[in-house]
Amino acid sequence: MKLYGRICHDLNNLTTETVKVSKPGVSKVHEKYICNQCGNTDQTLFFNYYCHHCNATTTYCRYCINLGKVQSCKAIYIIESERQKSLCKYRLNFELSEQQRHASDKIKQAVLNSEHLLLHAVTGAGKTEMIFEGISVARQNGDNVAVVSPRVDVVKEVYLRLAEAFKDEQIDLMYEGNFGQYNSTFVVATVHQLMRYDSHFDVVIVDEVDAFPLDMDNQLMHTIHKASTLHASHIYLTATPNQQLQAKFTDSQIIKLPARYHGHSLPLPEFQFNAIKETKLNQKLLKLLKKQIEDKRKTFVFFHDISYMKKVFNMYEHYFSKIEYVSSVDSERHEKVSLLRNDEIDIMFTTTILERGVTLEYLDVVIMHTEKFTSSAIIQIAGRVGRKLSCPTGKVVCYHEGITKNMLHAKNEISKMDSLARKKGWIT
């Protein structure tokens, strides 16, 4: 493995690579600290301490500490990038829909012209397949490509699909605890991992650009630009772009994709008043879950709060044999997602950690206290249903104790996209 384009802490890790420049891990410019690894300038995230190696006070950055400590008294080394052309052939087991071909052509042209694009595509539009041609032409030209997302679950899902399509390519998969094994010409990673690079990628494709924490952390957007070359092409994909993101693009740079790849309508949320208490069994919910088992359907039950979810779960786990719960703080969450894919779980109580990146057949969703969710979360959760051609329909049951503007906005947005898809003739 070569460290092309990376930020290196130890020259002993290099073989034939060339150091482009070296600099202290943390610099002070106009009385302000700046981290030369991640670009952080938030002064509250720098810490001073006495270094016994250099016998002086030194400063380190806490923002990127998980990638290895960088400090003012130690140099970091930015490695020269390398560009290697590849045939980069891919295989698709189906023909792209008219909408997918339209998007694929737009992405290809953006890559060739070093332009930026925002793909506003409904959940289940087949966004991953739309980027194949753009990746292929980029790699054939020798461009370094990164496909990134804020969430590790999404990254793993995208990697599996890309690895299946680009069987002859060396694709690096990178997230916390899992490091690349090739030369960083084609990388699939969490956005945080791009902090390891400097001016290396010619094409960066950001999936689920509005997902936490990217939607709340401007530093991560800076990370994307820092890891990119000056004339890089950035392609952003999401089903729920906010106004702030859309404002960064011209109308011609926003491609709206209102149809699912299989040509069926989006599932609409069904609002049902139902007060779910954490201390009392809810017969309506119990009856629904039992019916789901009878019908051989999978069920995601979404919660806004981990503690509340666990208490409710404790009341229902005794009624079902294949039931689990998962959240962002669950150390076994990756194993539980694998059990889901292997058909070993029928009912999953979950936080919004599963609102993106997981695709299952015969799936319906239930949202508890829908009035506490944002409109984008409701749209994403509804988008879990009916994604497979073999099972393009399903239920989105929204239990609530009062309908909110967010709920109405989510339902309206889904209906508007459906209407646009019908107008274009992309759904039946």
Please report, rounded to a whole number, the percentage of residues in the chain having pLDDT higher than 90. Answer: 83
| pLDDT confidence band for 85 (50 / 70 / 90) | very high
Name the DSSP letter for residue 149: E
pLDDT at 189 over 90: yes
pLDDT at 154 over 90: no
Q: What is the largest CA-CA distance in the chain?
A: 73
| pLDDT confidence band for 140 (50 / 70 / 90) | very high
pLDDT at 212 over 90: no
Provide the pLDDT for residue 180. 83
Mean pLDDT taken over the chain: 94
Do 195 and 64 form a contact (C-beta atoms < 8 A)? Answer: yes
pLDDT at 215 over 70: no
Provide the pLDDT for residue 5. 95
Provide the pLDDT for residue 358. 79
Report residue 258 CA to chain centroid gap: 20
As a whole number of Å, the CA-based R_g of the chain is 23
Q: What is the value of pTM for the model shown?
A: 0.90
pLDDT at 231 over 70: yes
pLDDT at 58 over 80: yes
Provide the pLDDT for residue 311. 96
Domains and CATH numbers, the chain: 7-79 (no CATH), 98-257 (3.40.50.300), 269-424 (3.40.50.300)
Average pLDDT estimate for 113-130: 94
Provide the pLDDT for residue 172. 97
User: What pLDDT digit, counting tens, does each position of 270-282 carry?
Assistant: 999 999 999 999 9
User: What pLDDT digit, counting tens, does each position of 333-385 carry?
Assistant: 889 988 988 999 999 999 998 988 778 999 999 999 999 999 999 999 999 99
The residue type of 234 is H
Structure tokens at 98: 């008219």
- Which residues are within 8 A (CB) of 155 and not within 5 positions of it... i.e. 6 or more apart? 148, 149, 173, 175, 188, 189, 190
Please report, rounded to a whole number, the percentage of residues in the chain having pLDDT higher than 70. Answer: 99
The answer for 223, left when phi > 0, alpha when psi is -120 to 50, beta otherwise, is: alpha
